[in-house]
Amino acid sequence: MKHSGLVIAVAMALGLAGCGGDTSHGTATTSAQTFAFAPPALNSQRSYAETITDNSNNKIDESYYDMVTAVDASGSYTVYQSALGGGASTVNGADYSVLTETLGVNNSGQPVTASHAGNDGNPVVCTYTPHGAGPTFPLTVGTNWTLDFTYGCPGQPAIAYMQTGTVVGVESVTVPAGAYSAIRLQSTLSWTDANGRVHNEMVTNWRDVATLVSVKESITYSYSGPEPAHGYPVSTDIVLTSGS
């Protein structure tokens, strides 16, 4: 999750990085199925295709993969993300790219650190405090969550985020990687950038019931405040194309 200048980096899919919350409470009946978090297997890999639509209805297509490079005894793990071919593209003055980065993820699937190479080649380690967004496991249908967190990188002001969400239900989803029974998570993520523009992201994420890997994600964006001089996204669609 990077928001800096005119570079719009592809958001990491929620399947491997997860997305966690801090204050959850269940509202489902006692007979509802409980979904416990399952850490991904070491060296497992997922590939995704992403289509971003900007405010001029341009379509920006990206693809990337996530690979689990470490899993510890507690269930925390490390994920490496990089582009699958191609490079950055500039549309309406905005740069779109897949950021090559490594994420540290806790044992509820919540990202806690994100590191990438800086302009001088040295690693830059950014931190989610207390951790990234989404529901805390275990989950049942009807679980609601609310979370305030910050994301900060060295030498830059931390950005404050607020998220509210609901576990909507279990649905059948078909994507290029196959057909899945998936938990549907619905949430709103809000934050304000350094220019005073408010961003609201309405996110629907479908996660495989068996593995909790993200198989599909749809995001729509709304804004208020200063208008940028360049293009900006209004929606993003991500689908799982393969997994191993």
Q: How much is the pLDDT for 15?
A: 38
Q: How much is the pLDDT for 148?
A: 97
Q: State which fold the 3-243 domain adopts.
A: YmcC-like fold (2.40.360)
* Cα 12 from Cα 2, distance rounded (Å): 10
Please name which of 70, 138, 135, 136 lies closest in space to residue 104, comparing C-alpha atoms.
Answer: 70
- Give the domain ranges of the chain: 3-243
N-term to C-term CA, the chain: 24
Q: Could you give the count of Cα atoms lying within 13 Å of 9 in the half-sphere of its Cβ? A: 16
pLDDT (tens digit per residue) in 195-242: 999 999 999 999 999 999 999 999 999 999 999 989 999 999 999 999
Beta strands in the chain (DSSP E): 3-4, 7-9, 23-25, 45-54, 59-71, 77-83, 89-91, 94-97, 101-105, 111-117, 123-129, 144-152, 159-175, 178-192, 198-208, 214-224, 233-243
* Cα 98 from Cα 31, distance rounded (Å): 42
* Distances in whole angstroms, Cα of residue 99 to Cα of each of 117, 166, 204: 10, 29, 22
* Cα 238 from Cα 44, distance rounded (Å): 19
List of the chain residues with pLDDT < 50: 1-31
**Burial of 226 per CB tally in 10 Å (0-12, 13-18, 19+):** exposed
Q: How much is the pLDDT for 86?
A: 67
* Cα 146 from Cα 41, distance rounded (Å): 29
